Amino acid sequence: MNTPLASLHDIEIAARGCLSSMAYEYVSGGAGDECTLGWNERDWNSIRLRQRVLVDVAELDTSVSLLGRTLSHPILLAPTAYHKLIHADGEVATARGASEAGAPMIMSSFSNSPIEDVARATTAPFWFQLYVQPDREFTKALVQRVEAAGCEALCLTVDTPVLGARYRETRTGFHLPDGLTRANLEGMTQVAADAAHRPPEGAIYSAVLEPRLTWKDVEWLRSIATVPVLLKGIMDPDDARLAVQHGASGVIVSNHGARNLDTVPSTAMALPHVVDAIDGRVPVLVDGGIRRGTDVLKALALGASSVLIGRPYLYGLAVDGAAGVSRVVRTLRTELEMAMALTGRTSVSAIDRSVLWA
């Protein structure tokens, strides 16, 4: 990169010139009128912090414990699809960048790269995001495959029985270019691995999404998995309580990057309600609109164990491959350290709601 890129917003601007119009609109777009998309960022910005002074902050500890692992910082890569639309090396480059920055990566079911290739490219922990398929035997085989590759947790997406009204995708005629497939769904009998994820015009159901998914399927997945199962897409406190009742090892507060149901609340607004409902029984993670280290601090203050980023690292991938991914994570971590020092918090364990301006 010849031009210095100081912030995640700088990287996003630079990425636009590196991506096709179709790829950029796919990554950046939301559902409907994109109200929730705007709220996701705006509501983090609207939370005020309490600055504290004359605290010894010469040493800072950003480490966190998550699912039995000690991580050097609380920033993970959320599952996002089709990285080869963004960069020729796809998810392999993402994994390398994540490893360099010490960030666990959650690989998408809709990845263009096989799980085995990604596993070989990473030295950091990696998880796998699962869309349960109508073919349960295929789904079971996929779970066994990703566990064999070294996956340490499964993130079951629970908020997508159908896609939202993604009009940017419609306008650009979104499709997978020739040669790109969902590498980990190859072998399915119902649908080709390169088939469109969008339903036919006038329909709402997709061949690769399961509208029949219920809490019984959470119990089924737990019965076949040997790694922890987290539920991604929890926004309602009642669903959070049900997640714990059905044995989830954690929940991810997420509105799918504002890509499904427009006008649902931001994740910043939903997070404290879910945290209160969970009451410390399992970890609560959050994604959606995280663009600054101050956002990370605020999420931790509201009770999140860790945060996930999606679009920002895809923009980094577009600009500079693995190095761009690493740069995004390192920028957020540096900003988090600054925010911790300026609020007088020397460790993540010292961050609670008292860091917020009442």
User: Looking at the annotation, which residues are catalytic?
Assistant: 256
203, β-bridge pairs: none
Residue 79 annotated in ligand binding: yes
- Tell me how far apart the alpha carbons of residues 324 and 86 are, in angstroms, rounded to a whole number: 12
* CA 356-342-54 angle, 5° bins: 105
Token pair 């960022």 in the structure block, residue: 41
Q: Given CA atoms 44, 262, 169, 106 in this order, what sign does their dihedral have?
A: positive
Residue 237 annotated in ligand binding: no
Run of H or E residues at 71:
strand 69-71
Residue 311 annotated in ligand binding: yes
Residue 256 annotated in ligand binding: yes
Token pair 């010292």 in the structure block, residue: 350
- Give, in order, the Cα–Cα distances in Å from 8 to each of 12, 98, 115: 6, 16, 28
Alpha helix (H) ranges present in 101-194? 115-121, 136-148, 167-172
Residue 354 annotated in ligand binding: no
User: Which residues in 309-339 are b (16+ Cβ under 10 Å) and which e?
Assistant: bbbbbbbbbbbbbbbbbbbbbbbbbebbbbb
Give the length of the chain: 358
Of the candidates 311, 134, 137, 131, the residue with the CA atom closest to the CA atom of residue 233: 131
Residue 289 annotated in ligand binding: yes
Q: How many CA atoms lie within 13 A of 22 on its CB side?
A: 10
Residue 157 annotated in ligand binding: yes
The rounded radius of gyration (Å) of the Cα atoms in the chain is: 19
Residue 259 annotated in ligand binding: yes
Residue 172 annotated in ligand binding: no
Residue 262 annotated in ligand binding: no
Residue 80 annotated in ligand binding: yes
Residue 287 annotated in ligand binding: yes
The three-class DSSP label of residue 274 is: helix
Residue 52 annotated in ligand binding: no
Residue 310 annotated in ligand binding: yes
Give the distance from CA 271 to its chain's centroid.
15
Residue 26 annotated in ligand binding: yes
Residue 139 annotated in ligand binding: no
Q: Which residues are annotated as a binding site for FMN?
A: 79-81, 108, 129, 157, 232, 254, 287-291, 310-311
Q: Which residues are annotated as a binding site?
A: 26, 79-81, 108, 129, 131, 157, 166, 232, 254, 256, 259, 287-291, 310-311
Q: Which residues are annotated as a binding site for glyoxylate?
A: 26, 131, 166, 256, 259
